[in-house]
Each structure stands twice: as structure tokens, then as C-alpha cells.
Amino acid sequence: MTDFAEGPTHSGVRRILARWNLELEGPSVPILRYGFAVVCVSAALGLALALQYYKFIERSPLFNLAIALTAWYAGVGPAVLAVVLSTACFSYFFAGPVYALYFVTWAVVVASFVAVRRRREREVKRLNQELVKRAAELEASNKELEAFAYSVSHDLRAPLRHVISYAELLQKPASSLFDDRSQRQMKRILEAANRMGNLIDDLLAFSRIGRVETCKTTVDLGQLIREVVAEFEEETSGRNIDWKIGTLPVCHGDCSMLKLVLTNLISNAVKFTRTRTRAEIEIGCADGKNEIEVFVRDNGAGFDMQYADKLFGVFQRLHRSREFEGTGIGLATVQRVIERQGGKVRCEGVLDQGATFYFSLPQV
């Protein structure tokens, strides 16, 4: 019962002090600020006289507390007034002028310390407010950019479909009328249009990641990877691929988004080992204290580590499209999904020797 009775009282005191703090900081109310100094010193004097009546020796801490409160809530000017009043009261009622000199020195030190501390707190508060404002502006800007990318990608699909459709209609009946050069040019038109369609589809998928609500559950990574690898059976039929899948734990994340991550990484491993007579793709993990790190390793084309930071950018490619097809959005998608899951991505590679991509996830 005592705790319940004290709760409203304490919260009421905090509200009153917060209100005083806001009011006293205003430059247009000096009467309140200096009046607060007088009230604090008067209260300290009253308590000190009461302590003197009951034979208590130490009374200077009360005046020091009054000075500290004034410096904290009212500022430097009222704190100076509190020092002067406290010195006068203390020397008149309780001690001689010699002892009062020590009291003044200590009071000035207390007031200076509190004033500096208060000034720094206000600066930190101002910086925090500015940081929150900048973060809100950045979030709004990102949302606008996502909406713009989604709108542009969606609006581009219709005219692109018309280009592809009319080019195919033109190619079929008129193929006998075209010479070899014209047929090559028509083929390039269709290839470029289809590639543009793939870019738009990937850009739409990338923009949807930021719009879809994350639904975290318990995910069996071993089962999930087996499902993803099974989807590549038709694509990898006839190839000599040595799959090495280690024991993978259970993690906490969005199952559909993690499947998208694994599909992109394994697809890259399958694609970039295409030139190998015997491809090796290894999937495993390493346990950490509070997270697990999954990796996908291959012996494919690899990359130069000086360009590692570019790999996770949108439309960033280190290989020519004639060598390896793609749009350059897959790894950017991987990074965005993993960061939304609370993890990180990184990569290692050696040119013409292979690459390893890692992503971390919170451990269950």
C-alpha cells in the first residue's frame, strides 16, 4: 500500500519540477528565476534555524543545496544572488566573517560546477533533438525514394511490354523479308527490352522489401536451404556440382525474406561457377555469442577485394553481362533484407578463385 501511495506523489513532484524547469528557462520571466533563488535560500534558512533549535551542528549543506538547485533550474544570475543571500544569512545567523569566507568559496565552486553541468546537459539535449529531427527527415526521404522507385518501375512496365509485343509481332511475319543485319538488330531490340524488363522487375522487388512488414518466427535454416537447393535441380542438371551443406541451426527471422536471401546467394554461386569443370558450393555457419553467421562459398569467378564495398550497391556489377547475366540488384536485396532482420553482411573473394558471402542473424 505504501508504494501505491507514494507513486502519484513522486510523479506529481517530477511534473512540478519539470514545469518549473521550462518556465524558469524562459528569458521573459526573470522575476520567476530570481524569485526562485530567494525562495530556495529562505527555505534553507528556515530549515537551518530549525536544525539549530534541535542542536544540529551542520547547517551549511542546506545553503549549498539551495545554491545548487538555483544554479540548475534558474541559471547563473539567480545562482549568484543565491550565493550572496546564503553567505549573508550564514554569516549573520550561524558563523563569523572568517568562516563565512570559506563558505563563500565552497558555494561558488558548487554553483560553478552545477552551472557547467546544466549547460552541458542542455547542449546534449539540443543535439539529441537535432539528431531525432535528422533521423525523421532521413526516414521520410527514404520512404519517398522507395515510393518513387516503385511508381516509376510500375509505370515503365506497360510501355515496355508494348515494345516487346510489337517487336515480336514484327519479327515473326517479316523474318523472311529481313536480311541478316536487320534480324540481328531486331534480336538486339528484344534482348535489350527483356533485360530492361528484368531490371524493372528486380527494382520493384527491391522497393517492396522496404514496404513489406517483417514477420519474425523461428526458422529452421537447414530445412530452408534444402528447399532452396532443390529449386535449382533443373537449372544445374548436367553439371558437376559438389554440394557441401553443413549442419545449420534454428534462428529467429522472417522465413520468406530469408529464403529470398539464400536464393540470391545460391543463385550467384551457381552462376559464377558455370565456367568450372567441377564446381564446389559450400553452405555452413559459425556460432557466435549472440548471433549465428551463415556463409555461402564457391570456387567460381571470384572478385577483387578492393571492389568489395561496391558489390552490395544497386546495379553494381564487377563482371560483364555477356560473361554472366544479371541485373546487379541481388546482393543489394540481400543486404537490405538482412539489415531489416537485425544482422550484417560481408564478403571475401579472390579473383578467379572463388568468393564467400556471409550474413549474420540473431540466435534463438
Domain residue spans in the chain? 2-135, 144-209, 217-362
Is domain 217-362 annotated with CATH 3.30.565.10? yes
pTM: 0.54
Q: How many residues does the chain have?
A: 364
Residue 58 confidence class, pLDDT cut points 50, 70, 90: low
**Distance of alpha carbon 148 from alpha carbon 156, whole angstroms:** 12
Amino acid code (one letter) for 161: R
Residue 330 has pLDDT above 60, yes or no: yes
User: What does 275-335 look like in DSSP terms, one character per residue?
Assistant: T-SSEEEEEEEEE-SSEEEEEEEE-SS---GGGGGGGGSTT--SS-TTTS---S-HHHHHH
**Distance of alpha carbon 328 from alpha carbon 311, whole angstroms:** 8
pLDDT tens-place string over residues 182-219: 777 777 888 778 777 777 777 777 766 766 677 788 88
Helix (H, G, I), strand (E, B) or coil at 245: strand
The grid coordinates listed for 278 are 567441377
Residue 9 has pLDDT above 70, yes or no: no
Helix segments in the chain, DSSP class H: 2-25, 30-53, 60-73, 76-93, 97-174, 180-209, 221-231, 233-236, 255-272, 330-340
Parallel, antiparallel, or unpaired: how do β-strands 291-298 and 279-287 relate?
A: antiparallel
Question: DSSP state, 242?
Answer: E
Helix (H) or strand (E) holding 244: strand 241-245
Residue 116 has pLDDT above 70, yes or no: yes
Residue 32 has pLDDT above 80, yes or no: yes
